[in-house]
Structure 1
Amino acid sequence: MVETNLLFGGNYLQINNSNFIKSVFECREGHENTVILGTNTFMSNSILLIKGSNNIVEIGSDGFINGLVITVEGDNNKVHIGDKVFVLDDTRMITVDGSTLHIGNECMFSDRIDIRTTDNHAIIDMDTSKRINFEEDIIIGDKVWIGTGVNILKGSVIPDGAIVGARSVVTKQYQQNNSVIVGNPARVVRNNVRWTMER
């Protein structure tokens, strides 16, 4: 619970009066990485792995996070998780090679969710011998509810107040706030809705 500031190998970890229980922060290589855990956030059974330099991971205040794995590979990545965010279990977030994952405030993530700014492997155009699949940022707005088993792929934008249905595959940028997004590939099926934590 006590505010902790650690500086090791040029890397910085700050925990501000939050519970960091049965969780691991590991920086396998690199330097000048910054990890900040806000005030009054409960984080358990989670792993944060950084392999690179000049990366920033910010987790906001008043959240509940269980079973989250954040993997950051390469340099100059940024992961931002806002305030009052709930992550329930077995969720993975992967950022690679200078990309950004931004999650707004008051979001709720169910279990078995996969979010990645990368395809993880290169795809090469055989005519030009050049790579064609580069990393792309992901933006998730405020008060978004992500259902169980959802995959959110690189370049996706999910607007404020959206609901993403179970096992959907999100692949593009959506514009309409307070919408229901479902399917594979995901599409908007309803607008002008809002959700609450209560049943």
Structure 2
Amino acid sequence: MLKNIILNIFRATRFHLLINKVNDIENIQSCNRGVINNGATFYSEAKVNNLANNQSKIVLGSNTHVRGELGVFNYGGQINIGENVYVGEQTKIMSGESIVIGNNVLISHNVNIADSSAHEIDYLDRAHAHLKMLKYGHPKEKGSVQTSPIVIEDNVWINFNSIILKGVHIGRGSIVAAGSVVTKDVPAFSLVAGVPAKVIKSLIKKADD
């Protein structure tokens, strides 16, 4: 009796693991269908929301590893990610205009990068647009939603729980400390921290260091 129970549990566990593996494979295939992949790797927890239904709107470089979510809106958006980039779990990169990420960039978990305000500023416009979206789906026209491109240069490290808002340019070699909200440009080789993020120190090594 006990042997049969153990065998049944073992079979059920194996079946459950098999189903999970199949689901993981299907999810990774779905991610790859939504992008132009030049040698990047998606993991089972990754997501791609290409609302424009155009692969060329999301382009990934070689040896880039994605565990988070990439998305472009119906009305616009472009995500270009370079080589040797890491995108951590639960990180969301959402574009309504343009997000360019260079090479060798490390993006930790739970980071949000958005080049769009996502909704209208005027409350009447926002209410009307919300009702329209519920009825007709995601809009194909930007309307009064504000967007501004984001550029993250090579060798940047963005720590967990950080937020990068629209219009920001982060210079190469910089570090964004955990929990920071970046609202303004970051000079190259700078450490920024806080809400809003401010330059804490320069990361440029002196000749006598």
Q: Please give the TM-score of this superposition, normalised by the length of structure 2.
A: 0.69
Contact residue 159 and residue 177 of structure 1 kept, 8 A: yes
Map Cα deviations across residues 62-99 of structure 1 (whole Å, 9 max, x no partner).
12222x11121124421001100012211001112xx0
- 2:114 maps to which of 90, 95, 116: 116
Number of the residue aligned with 2:191 = 180
Quickly say closer, same or farther: Cα 1:34–1:89, change in 2 above 3 A.
Answer: closer
- Identity of aligned pairs, percent? 27
Name the SS for the 1:119 alignment partner.
Answer: coil
Residues 180 and 52 (structure 1), Cα distance of their counterparts in 2 relative to 1, 3 Å cut: same
Note the 1:106-185 alignment, pairs <5 A. 106-124=104-122, 134-174=146-186, 176-185=187-196
Deviates more, 1:49-58 or 1:136-145: 49-58
Q: Which amino acid aligns with 1:182?
A: A
Equivalent residues of 1:180, 1:193 under 8 A apart: no
Pick closer, same or farther for the CA change 1:76–1:124 going to 2, 3 Å.
closer
3-state DSSP of counterpart to 1:115: strand
What residue in structure 1 maps to residue 28 of structure 2? 23
Residue of structure 1 equivalent to 2:94: 94
CA deviation vs aligned residue, 1:5-25 (integer Å, no higher than 9, x gap): xxxxxxxxxxxxxxx774363
Greater fraction strand:
1
Instruction: Structure 2: give runs of 5+ residues left out of the alignment.
Output: 1-24, 125-142
- 1:12 aligned partner: none
- Work out the CA distance in 2 between the residues paired with 1:21 and 1:88: 20
Shift of 1:144: 0.3
Per-residue deviation, 1:184: 0.3
Bigger helix fraction: 2
Say if 1:59 and 1:148 are closer, same or farther in 2 by CA, change over 3 A: same
* Match of residue 64 from structure 2: 63
Name the CA distance, whole Å, in 2 between partners of 1:47 and 1:111.
14
CA distance in 1, matches of 2:47, 2:88: 14
Query: Aligned equivalents of 1:125 and 1:63: distance in 2?
Result: 40
Cα distance in 1 for partners of 2:26, 2:87 equals 15
| Bigger Rg over Cα | 2
Measure the CA separation in 1 of the matches of 2:71 and 2:26.
18
* Conservation of the 8 A alpha-carbon contact between 1:163 and 1:178: yes
2:105 and 2:121 map into 1 onto residues whose CA distance is 33
Structure 1: which 5+ runs fail to align?
1-19, 27-32, 195-199
Evaluate the alpha carbon distance shift between residue 143 and residue 89 of structure 1 in structure 2; reply closer, same or farther with a 3 A threshold.
Answer: same
Code of the residue aligned with 1:160 in structure 2: it is R
- Contact 2:151/2:170 (8 A) holds in 1: yes
Alignment partner for residue 201 of structure 2, among 187, 190, 198? 190
Q: Contact between 1:103 and 1:142, CA under 8 Å: does it hold in 2?
A: yes
